[in-house]
Structure formats: structure tokens, C-alpha cells
Structure 1
């Protein structure tokens, strides 16, 4: 069964072609659905471009709609949107960032995730993603990490809750390799990694994760993410508030050196 997608241009184009062929053949959505094993709502999803058709759908629908290979040819160009629609704008700005500061509360930031760790994060998504969709999103996430090595360099500041490091996401072996990866990244001159210890009774980060990004024009943007949505904003007052909050969180967290000692300790315990 297909799962709901954000809808890429190729999916919308396939859906429009499929709908036109169905109408020309005088076939109802119910009849097509019955033939390919889809409900009417799933056929509607395919035709609107929000559902990725299965290979079986394409192979059965093409002759049923007298498409003469049109759907089969169109399906060869199908691809999902690589990022959620609400994240696309941020990713486009992230590519050219001069500085990126982020505070993580649940999982590590995508820029510093190992492939195994990222795969475990995506595999835990609910509602569950299709295997090929996980693969596509994983590849897109790993490609974003070119920001770490590109020139001109991007100054990266990562502050993470200790609880994020303690969670054996993907298993202890994946957890260990992820921690070791953080230690390697911390050796880079333009990367700062700090940990907010669990033992601290209080700190300024209780409002949740946040990201600040500096553009090539030295303009600062804020980004915050919640359930199924992310928001990027440039209002000076809102961005200033995030700057104050991040600065306080940074001052309250362990220093980069002490954070490294803690991470090394965690690695040694695995």
C-alpha cells in the first residue's frame, strides 16, 4: 500500500497523466482501484500527486487504461520530494550558510549524523516510511553534510542534551560509532560541540530545539521545528530572542573541551 507523500513535481505530473488517461478510457476511480487493488481514496491520492504509485499499480493500470506504455514510461521518472515541503526553504538557505548554530533536544542534528544513525532516525518515523523513501531521504540528508567540508567554511556550533547521546538509537554499536564521529568532527577548527549535562537542574533551553543561520550577506535567520512542521523567520525581534536564548544555553553547557571528555567517557562505557 502506498503511503502519503509531500508530492514531488514528477508525482504530480504522473498523477495528471494517469487521471487524463483514465478519463479518456471512461473508467471510474472505483473501477481502476478495484483492478489494481487500491481504494478510491488511494487512486485519488495518486492522481493528485500526493501518493507514490506502486510498481503493481503502474503495471496493471497501463493496459487497463489503454495507455500503450505511457504510464510505464512516465513511472521511470518518478521520484519523491527529497525533503518535506516546509523544510525545502531552509535547506536551500543552509547550503550557503556562513554560520549555523543549533541546539538539539531529541536527536542529533542531521549535519552530524552518521549514515547508520540517520537511517535509524528515519526508520523510526511514524507513520512508517516506505523503504525506498527512507533511502531517498537518507541520501538527501548525507548530501547536506557537504556543508562541513565545503569552502568557504561554515562555522558550526552544536549544543546537544546529554540525553540525546545516551539513547542507543539503532543499537549500542551505532551509538558508539556516532559518538566517535562527534569526536572526529570536534577536531575541526570550524566545528564546536557542547553538551548540556543531565545533572544540571535548569537551563535556558526548555522551549525546545532551535537553529540560527547566518547568510552570506550576514543576515541572521531563525528556524524552529515541531510536530510535522518547521518555521523559518527573519523578524529581527524573534531572531534576537533566539540569539539571546542560544547564547545563554551555550554559556550554561559544558565547554567544548569538557564536552569532549564526557563524550570520550560515554564511548569508553560502550
Structure 2
């Protein structure tokens, strides 16, 4: 009653079934007169509140000076609004529990801190046209997502391109491609359609992914034309 959280939530936190938000720890510390001991656990909580796979991806993205992503079936996670992300995650089968859904949404949004880094990394995105038409979550959620794309696409360090559906075949038709480069000159890449979908660091394999990604960017609409295309979609509703 003192912290304003339901008994069920308190039980789940104490039983390790739900990872608390920082606000919960602050409030619990205050009402229990813990003198900062409970609040201090936030540093540990931050490291474990997301699935291990997401934590590792977030670490890589946080260090990268250049990130390039091609998505063919969905809007890239780094570009998603919370509402759009929630709808996609809830659509999975078998379904996740409500708590797991919220954890995954929070994890996806936490990765978007890459846009706030200083110095800014160079971020490139190529999205297939088809997912931009899919009104995930209804018209308002869809419009908000398109507006978010326009907002991010206008940042000085972000390049956003759309691959039109009426284009010729391209190297990304068999799935997602992601490339990340780091300050020490190393890089890591992954492609659904190459090398078993596993992350790769071998320079020869990376050059293959870079060639594929470069070809995709060359076939996509220019950044200016891509933003104009998204604006046109918004204007049609």
C-alpha cells in the first residue's frame, strides 16, 4: 500500500518471477528505510532484466561506430515504437506471458539508446516496402510508427531507405542482414541467408555480406525519395 504496487507484482518481484523497474526499487528503498541498499541493486538488475541474446546484441550496438541493417519482413527493431513492438511480440506463437512481453518491449526500446550516443554512430537502414503498408495495431499505431520513421530518418547520422516492391530481385530476398563495425577496425555481421545465420567475423565472409548489403542499398530508393514515400503513405490515410 505504501508504494502503490499490487500484491501480485510485489510477490512476483520477491519470487524472482518479474524483474522490477528502477522506480519500484526507489520506492521500496524509501518505505523500508533501506538507506539506498535496495535502490543500489538497480546496477545488477540492469544487466539481467533482458534475455541474454538481447543483452549481447545491445552490448555490440553500444560499441559500434557503424551499423547497417536490411529488414525484409518487419520494420527494424531499432526503429520500432513501443506500441508497434508490443503488437509484433504479442503475435508470436506460442504466445509469451504478459510479463515476458513487457520485458521484451523494454529490451527493444533500451537498444534505441544508440540514437542518443555521443559521438554519434553512423546508422543505415533499408526496409522493404511491404511491411510499411501493414497496419500493425490499427491505423493510429501504424501512423505513429511511420511518423517515427520520418523523425529518425531526418537525423544527421541516420540514413533510411525503402526497397520498393516493384524492383528487380536483390540479395536480401532470403532474409535479414546486419553489419556492425567497431573503433578497433573489427566487424561482425549476420545474415539469415548466409553462413547458417550465425554471427561472423571472418574478413572474407564479411566482404560477402558487405557486397550484398551494398547492392541492396544501390537498388533501394534514395534517402530523400524514401522519406517522401513514407510521407505519401501517411497522406493517404
Cα distance between partner residues in 2 of 1:250 and 1:79: 40
Cα distance between partner residues in 2 of 1:83 and 1:225: 23
Q: Of 65, 76, 87, which residue of structure 2 is paired with 1:109? A: 76
Cα distance between partner residues in 1 of 2:13 and 2:173: 51
Residue 150 of structure 1 is matched in structure 2 by 117
Cα distance between partner residues in 1 of 2:81 and 2:93: 21
Change (3 A) 1:95 1:134: same
Q: Does 1:189 align with 2:156?
A: yes
TM superposition shift of 1:142: 0.8
Q: Decide whether the 8 Å contact of 1:163 with 1:198 is kept in 2.
A: yes
| RMSD (Å), alpha carbons | 2.6
Change (3 A) 1:121 1:78: closer
Cα distance between partner residues in 1 of 2:197 and 2:82: 23
SS in 1 for 2:180: strand
Cα distance between partner residues in 2 of 1:214 and 1:185: 21
SS in 1 for 2:199: strand
Cα distance between partner residues in 2 of 1:110 and 1:157: 13
Q: Does 1:237 align with 2:177?
A: no
If you compute each CA radius of gyration, which structure gives the higher value, 1 or 2? Answer: 1
Q: Deviations over 1:185-226 (max 9, x none)?
A: 111010000000011132221221110001121212102358
Residue 75 of structure 1 is matched in structure 2 by 15
Change (3 A) 1:116 1:182: same
Q: TM-score, normalised by structure 1?
A: 0.68
Q: Of 226, 229, 236, which residue of structure 2 is paired with 1:262? A: 229
Residue 36 of structure 2 is matched in structure 1 by none
SS in 2 for 1:233: coil
Q: Deviations over 1:106-129 (max 9, x none)?
A: 111111101111111111111100
Cα distance between partner residues in 2 of 1:93 and 1:105: 22
Runs of 5+ consecutive residues of structure 1 not aligned to the other structure = 1-54, 60-71
Cα distance between partner residues in 2 of 1:120 and 1:77: 23
Q: TM-score, normalised by structure 2?
A: 0.77
Cα distance between partner residues in 2 of 1:160 and 1:79: 33
Residue 145 of structure 2 is matched in structure 1 by 178
Residue 135 of structure 1 is matched in structure 2 by 102
Q: Does 1:247 align with 2:214?
A: yes
Q: Decide whether the 8 Å contact of 1:197 with 1:254 is kept in 2.
A: yes
TM superposition shift of 1:153: 0.6
Runs of 5+ consecutive residues of structure 2 not aligned to the other structure = 1-7, 21-47
**Consecutive aligned runs of 4 or more in structure 1 exceeding 4 Å deviation:** 80-84
Aligned length: 201
Residue 201 of structure 1 is matched in structure 2 by 168
TM superposition shift of 1:152: 1.5
